[in-house]
Amino acid sequence: MPNIGIKRSLLFKELGQKYTDKEFDQLCFDFGIELDDIEPIPESNGEDVEYKIDIPANRYDILCLEGLSRALKIFLQKGELPKFTLSNQKLIRMKILPNTQRIRPIVVGAVLRNITFNADSYNSFIKLQDKLHQNLCRNRTLVAIGTHDLDTIKPPFIYDAREPKQIKFRSLNQQKEMQADEMLEFYSKDSHLKRYVSIIQESDVYPVIYDSNNVVLSLPPIINGDHSKMSVNTKNVFIECTAVDLHKANVVLNIMLTMFAQYCSKPFEIEPVEVEQVDGTVIVYPNLDDRVENVSVKKINKRIGIEVDAKTAATLLTRMSLRTKVIDPDILRIEIPVTRADILHFCDIAEDCAVAYGFNNIHKTVPKTVCIGNQFELNRVSDLIRHSVAEAGFIEALTFTLCSCADVAEKFGKTIESIPAVHIGNPKTQDFQIGRTTLLPGLLKTIANNQGTALPIQLFEVSDVILKDLTRETGSRNERRLCAVFYNKTPGFETIHGLLDRIMTLVKVSYNENKSGNQGYYLNNQCEDTAFFPGRHAQVIANGGNIGIIGVLHPNVIEQFGLKLPCSILEINIEPFV
């Protein structure tokens, strides 16, 4: 949860009202934030303090004085949400060159024209950048913000990626020019920027932004150029965001613009920028259009446990910076502004309504029905199977839910494109790129790290795998599976087959000798799988459906996982038995 520091005097000035510390603490509670601490400001001689306020991690719009005071004024019904507009003057253009696709492919930008800063608003501007970098930008790995004095540079701009030795400029607050590789070596020893150096250091090209005079604006995501540095006297601010995620880049850009557009000569007017893509198409940023949702008042009431009419619900949501109109007695039309990127689902709207209503005002009721809690049936069956497999001589393992692409694809002679895997958007390591689609790699790795153990090694795991499923709201689903591995000097297929028979006996599924119909279980060896020894594997068919596979692993697979002896495996979906 981000924590921001705001001078009490500045905040109360923006709110147009003074509060005691206790009253402001209550206001924070009512609004859904927390006054964490109150720290004295030494230079104020005891006349002012700094409020340390905890902000929900998804409320990027209240990470600065401007956003928080605006939201609180709307909540207190002392102000209205401003309408942001785009100016219609000739647009600045930025061109993306093809090399950028190799490292950091996205850039967006806009201009705050004729802005007037003072010391406090300028500091707030810089602090918001830092907070966004730490939070939404994930320490600049997803998005990096560059802010420049537009009057010191000449558009159009070029976003390129070049070899380190081809990039040379004087970075922010430095006295001499350096090549990009020298610069990264220099900043790798700096306590503030060294954590960002690794983002691009291993690449053969570095992203860089130039103006039409070949002046370097920035080396994202590390440092801006000193030539275009901002100050409190800056009048025209050019903001660019380079990124690997377009959605987050747009959110970051919109937050930076909407928080400080109030200081422009035409308040809340923003000058867009044309960005020419690699394929020649031109996209204008930012997009400040509101999103529109129609929601049911009855559904809101039911979800929260209150009884309010449409007019009251509209007032509550408007207090939370969501423009709301009553369409009919049960339908509300909600205009979600660009500042509220945290509103993703009906539940978020209902939550905001509950905050404005006041959680302490929701009447506590005793449920009309008396229910006795019971264990989730899938977990109950899983526990029974765990006990039975352990009793059969297998040792339970608990392995990582994430794995590498190679663990489920290349090591089994398959391609990752053929695997319904859920990919991590920004993996930190090569070992954790996707959600596992099978339990087998984790068990084989466990054996590989314990090869000094006495033979045979018999391991099993009952846990979930993650599969891509476009029919689900989340685009994925979990599936509970049992996987067992027998590792010895001989494959021991009969041991694994015996375990399958034991499990089927426990779940009361009998063997189907006819190998047809929808009753019982049997093995279907009319299948091909590169992970297994040819002719030594089969599908497990139960009650007419394929629930898994059993067989002897191919020697290539054994070698890929660093093993030396043959092994047999069983992996089945146990959800059909619930």
Range 572-577 average pLDDT? 93
How many Å apart are CA 190 and CA 183, to the nearest integer? 11
Q: Helices (DSSP H) in 366-466: which residue ranges?
A: 377-391, 405-408, 440-448
Contacts of 107 (CB under 8 A, 6+ apart): 94, 96, 100, 159, 209, 240, 241, 242, 243, 249, 275
Question: Does residue 368 fall inside a structural domain?
Answer: no
Q: Residue 363 has what DSSP assignment?
A: P
Which CATH number belongs to the domain containing residue 334 in this structure? 3.30.56.10
**Residue 43 pLDDT level (bands cut at 50, 70, 90):** confident
Range 259-286 average pLDDT? 95
Model pLDDT for residues 310-343, shown as the tens digit of each residue: 999 999 999 999 999 999 999 999 999 999 999 9
Is residue 62 domain-shared with residue 114, that is, in the same domain?
no
Structure tokens at 47: 């006349």
Does pLDDT of 365 surpass 90? no
**Residue 526 pLDDT level (bands cut at 50, 70, 90):** confident
Is residue 296 domain-shared with residue 166, that is, in the same domain?
no
> What is the model's pLDDT at position 207?
95
Question: Does residue 224 fall inside a structural domain?
Answer: yes
Is residue 205 domain-shared with residue 242, that is, in the same domain?
yes
How many Å apart are CA 187 and CA 245, to the nearest integer? 25
Is residue 163 domain-shared with residue 231, that is, in the same domain?
yes
Which CATH number belongs to the domain containing residue 172 in this structure? 3.50.40.10
Is residue 109 domain-shared with residue 189, that is, in the same domain?
yes
> What is the model's pLDDT at position 374?
82
- C-alpha dihedral, 60 to 65 to 66 to 68, nearest 10°: 60
Question: Does residue 486 fall inside a structural domain?
Answer: yes
Is residue 255 domain-shared with residue 240, that is, in the same domain?
yes
> What is the model's pLDDT at position 423?
92
Does pLDDT of 89 surpass 90? no
Which residue range forms the structural domain that includes residue 448?
377-577
> What is the model's pLDDT at position 429?
85
Q: How many domains does the chain have?
A: 4
Range 485-506 average pLDDT? 93
Question: Does residue 372 fall inside a structural domain?
Answer: no
Model pLDDT for residues 75-84, shown as the tens digit of each residue: 999 989 899 9
Least trusted range by pLDDT, from 398-407, 425-434, 502-511: 425-434
Is residue 424 domain-shared with residue 573, that is, in the same domain?
yes
Q: What is the mean pLDDT of the chain?
A: 92
Domain boundary among 225, 259, 285: 285
Question: Does residue 367 fall inside a structural domain?
Answer: no
Between 541 and 515, residue with greater pLDDT: 541
Question: Does residue 139 fall inside a structural domain?
Answer: yes
> What is the model's pLDDT at position 372?
78
Does pLDDT of 428 surpass 90? no
Q: What percent of the chain is modeled with pLDDT above 70?
A: 100
Does pLDDT of 354 surpass 90? yes
Question: Does residue 403 fall inside a structural domain?
Answer: yes
Given a contact cutoff of 8 angstroms between Cβ atoms, the answer to whether 504 and 542 are in contact is yes
**Residue 191 pLDDT level (bands cut at 50, 70, 90):** low
Which CATH number belongs to the domain containing residue 424 in this structure? 3.30.930.10
Is residue 272 domain-shared with residue 400, that is, in the same domain?
no
Given a contact cutoff of 8 angstroms between Cβ atoms, the answer to whether 73 and 22 are in contact is no
Question: Does residue 371 fall inside a structural domain?
Answer: no
How many Å apart are CA 111 and CA 285, to the nearest integer? 10
Q: Residue 16 has what DSSP assignment?
A: T
181 CB burial (10 A radius; 0-12, 13-18, 19+): middle
Range 36-52 average pLDDT? 88
Least trusted range by pLDDT, from 44-53, 76-85, 363-372, 456-465: 363-372
Is residue 70 domain-shared with residue 107, that is, in the same domain?
no
Domain boundary among 285, 314, 335: 285
Is residue 71 domain-shared with residue 43, that is, in the same domain?
yes
Phi, psi of 387 (to 5 degrees): -60, -40
Range 91-111 average pLDDT? 95
Q: Helices (DSSP H) in 177-323: which residue ranges?
A: 180-187, 194-197, 246-260, 297-304, 310-319
Is residue 469 domain-shared with residue 520, that is, in the same domain?
yes
Does pLDDT of 141 surpass 70? yes
Domain boundary among 285, 314, 347: 285
Is residue 22 domain-shared with residue 115, that is, in the same domain?
no
